[in-house]
Structure 1
Amino acid sequence: MLFGLLFALAAGLMWGLVFVAPVMLPGYAPAQLTVGRYLAFGLIALPLGLALDRRPLRELQAADWWEAARLSLVGNFLYYLCLSAAIQRAGAPLPTMIIGTLPVVIAVCANHRNRVRDGHLPWRKLAPSLALIAAGLACVNREELRALQAQAGDPRRYAEGAGLAVLAVACWTWYPIRNADWLRAHADRSPRAWATAQGMVTLPMALAGALLLTLVHLAAPGTLTQAGQAFPLGDRPLAYVGLMLAVGLCSSWLGTLCWNEASQRLPTSLSGQLIVFETLAALAYAFAWTGRQPSPLTLAGVALLVAGVAWALRIRPKRTPP
């Protein structure tokens, strides 16, 4: 249990980096960030797999590789595409706080689905947690909308960002539940090898994405890049390549590895709630990068979010007979 908590904490700290990457590279399209990140993930995972996990990777069957591909498509590509687009449209704090509902969303979804394997959390005891998180989101949304109006921003872009963040929540609700299913069903397999396998199947997807982006750019120049910006590396190629490699190594490979270790040790309803570490890390990184001081209302929203997850963590699952 202790090691599971520590692995979840490490995963959250590394995953928080993906929220600040679109802010650090504002001139790059979400598709460029997504393809760049997972191209780096695949290029890093391939030599690591050959060097460290050759034997356990050979033991994977065709069904296992197909499951890794589906997990990578939804939990990697679609999730990060929606997330990076949401951040560029609405700023980092709002999408971060919407993603912050994942701990309870995953717990609610897994609560019924995995009640026999992991135990059942009484709905009556979960209600205060859900109410606290809803109040926290209301605080942050109101503060961010005020800031948007003061800057004469576009409310439509703000709404689009919120909608894309909700789609990202849907993707990453499905991913950890299915990922935990495989890990719990294969408790004798290496979580590191499973993280490497997901990176290896991501590589051909990223290459296909890069080819698609190239065709779009050739057919309609300027669709993916701003005026005068070079394609595909943009006007800050060293920053783009360096950040994609850092995110590919830390957030994708190491983050997935740590999350797999946590998922193999903890019930899904509990490990899902520990994604709060990602939310808090992302908020801290975003405010540090932009140099903004969080307002009292934003801090109150964060406190309510943490209180809601802390409340949920106190609930002990009840065993359900098969």
Structure 2
Amino acid sequence: MALTLLDAALLVMVLIWGSNFSVVKVALRDFPEVPFNAMRLLVGSIVFMGALWWNRDTKSQEAPLTRTDWWQLLFLGLVGTFLYQLCFVGGVRRTSVANGSLIVGISPIMIALLSAWAGHERIKPVRWVGVCLALGGLYLIVGHGAELSSQTLYGDALMMSGVLCWAVYSVASQPILKRHSALTVIGLTFTLGAVIYGVAMIPVLVTVDWSSISPQSWGLMLASALLALNLSYFIWYTGLKKLGGSRTSIYSYLTPVVAMAVAAIWLSEPVSANQVAGAGVVFAGLLITRFGS
């Protein structure tokens, strides 16, 4: 099976998400966590709703949304936007890039297990070989550098909770993706989740000193919203719709590779020989899982 345009798009998504760890860490130096997240979600919602309006003629050709569809969209927005983003940004702030990327790298395993349990996909044995190989490479990359201390324990717990939310979100969205376009599903679920976040965080948002936030951090917030949320979420959902959960999520194994490389360059975190070797093992596991027959 040849490399497709969708494969290339998923690799771009990985580059963005891997870089986003460092982007968020730098921005949070003077951009408080809750308003940072709120602004990202606001920007993301505006862009997604604008895209839905722009494509309204195409959307009119889809089947109308039923009451059941709206309840499903609300659930997906609660889990995949509100809870996931709450856990992700909180986790990135409180743990290291090594810890965070290792935990996020487990998401393909959780998605594959949930997808198989839900009966959405039958995972072939050769692909499980690729999954295990990539997980081993992931340990080589960040396992030796991961910090396990009381200072990062809370952040690690938040990241793990976020991975669980992301797995549920990815698997639970597959039935509705069979009836509606990726843009419709992601646009509406994202906006619903953003509204929930904004309403829940009003007591915090009204106390923020917005003038203390630097222009650089505003720019990083905007880049994180447009690239890590809008563009990458759309690519992710397109992958789920066309490839399924297990074959799309395997690309997440490359996220720690990018995360460690960007952190080394931007945040001066060291890169070891184990991490370089692990990157090659991860890539081999990705190829087996993506193209294994």
Q: Same fold (TM over 0.5)?
A: yes
Q: Distance in 2 between matches of 1:160 and 1:203?
A: 24
Matches within 5 A, 1:133-144: 133-134=135-136, 136-137=138-139, 140-144=142-146
Matches within 5 A, 1:253-264: 253-264=230-241
Equivalent in 222, 237, 243 of residue 245 of structure 1: 222
Q: Distance in 1 between matches of 2:106 and 2:135?
A: 7
Q: Distance in 1 between matches of 2:286 and 2:209?
A: 41
Q: In the TM superposition, what whole-angstrom CA distance separates every residue of 1:269-295 from its partner, at most 9, and x where no partner exists?
A: 211212234343333333332133412
Change (3 A) 1:85 1:210: closer
Aligned residue number for residue 164 of structure 2: 170
Aligned identity (percent) is 20
Given the alignment of the two structures, is residue 159 of structure 1 paired with residue 136 of structure 2, yes or no? no
Q: Distance in 2 between matches of 1:141 and 1:200?
A: 36
Given the alignment of the two structures, is residue 282 of structure 1 paired with residue 282 of structure 2, yes or no? no
User: What SS class does the counterpart of residue 111 from structure 1 fall into?
Assistant: helix
Q: Distance in 2 between matches of 1:128 and 1:263?
A: 19
Larger Rg over CA atoms:
1
Conservation of the 8 A alpha-carbon contact between 2:131 and 2:289? yes
Aligned residue number for residue 110 of structure 2: 105
Change (3 A) 1:109 1:54: same
Given the alignment of the two structures, is residue 91 of structure 1 paired with residue 96 of structure 2, yes or no? yes
Aligned residue number for residue 181 of structure 2: 190
Give the partner amino acid of 2:162. A
Deviation at 1:88, TM superposition (A): 1.9
Q: Distance in 2 between matches of 1:286 and 1:137?
A: 17
Q: In the TM superposition, what whole-angstrom CA distance separates every residue of 1:139-175 from its partner, at most 9, and x where no partner exists?
A: 6233243xx9xxxxxx211222222221121111111
Deviation at 1:264, TM superposition (A): 1.5
Matches within 5 A, 1:302-321: 302-313=279-290, 315-316=292-293
Gaps of at least 5 residues in structure 1 are 149-154, 218-230, 317-322
Given the alignment of the two structures, is residue 270 of structure 1 paired with residue 247 of structure 2, yes or no? yes
Equivalent in 47, 50, 53 of residue 50 of structure 1: 53
Conservation of the 8 A alpha-carbon contact between 2:91 and 2:159? yes
Conservation of the 8 A alpha-carbon contact between 2:34 and 2:201? no
TM-score, normalised relative to structure 2: 0.83
TM-score, normalised relative to structure 1: 0.76
Q: Distance in 2 between matches of 1:167 and 1:85?
A: 11
Q: Distance in 2 between matches of 1:125 and 1:45?
A: 34
User: What SS class does the counterpart of residue 274 from structure 1 fall into?
Assistant: helix
Q: Distance in 1 between matches of 2:130 and 2:5?
A: 28
Q: Distance in 1 between matches of 2:46 and 2:80?
A: 18
Matches within 5 A, 1:127-138: 129-130=131-132, 133-134=135-136, 136-137=138-139
The runs of at least 4 aligned residues of structure 1 exceeding 6 Å deviation read: none
Conservation of the 8 A alpha-carbon contact between 2:130 and 2:284? no
Aligned residue number for residue 8 of structure 1: 10
Give the partner amino acid of 2:196. M
User: What SS class does the counterpart of residue 294 from structure 1 fall into?
Assistant: coil
Aligned residue number for residue 76 of structure 1: 81
Matches within 5 A, 1:180-259: 180-183=174-177, 185-186=178-179, 189-214=180-205, 217=207, 231-233=208-210, 235-259=212-236
Q: In the TM superposition, what whole-angstrom CA distance separates every residue of 1:240-268 from its partner, at most 9, and x where no partner exists?
A: 33322222222212212112221111132
Equivalent in 60, 65, 73 of residue 70 of structure 2: 65
Task: Indicate the larger mover: 20-29 or 254-263.
Answer: 20-29
Aligned residue number for residue 32 of structure 1: 35
Aligned residue number for residue 152 of structure 1: none
Aligned residue number for residue 20 of structure 2: 18
Deviation at 1:133, TM superposition (A): 1.6
Deviation at 1:5, TM superposition (A): 2.2
Conservation of the 8 A alpha-carbon contact between 1:94 and 1:162? yes
Q: In the TM superposition, what whole-angstrom CA distance separates every residue of 1:109-157 from its partner, at most 9, and x where no partner exists?
A: 323433xx533323x8726743662574376233243xx9xxxxxx211
Give the partner amino acid of 1:170. L
Aligned length: 288
Equivalent in 106, 120, 124 of residue 121 of structure 1: 124
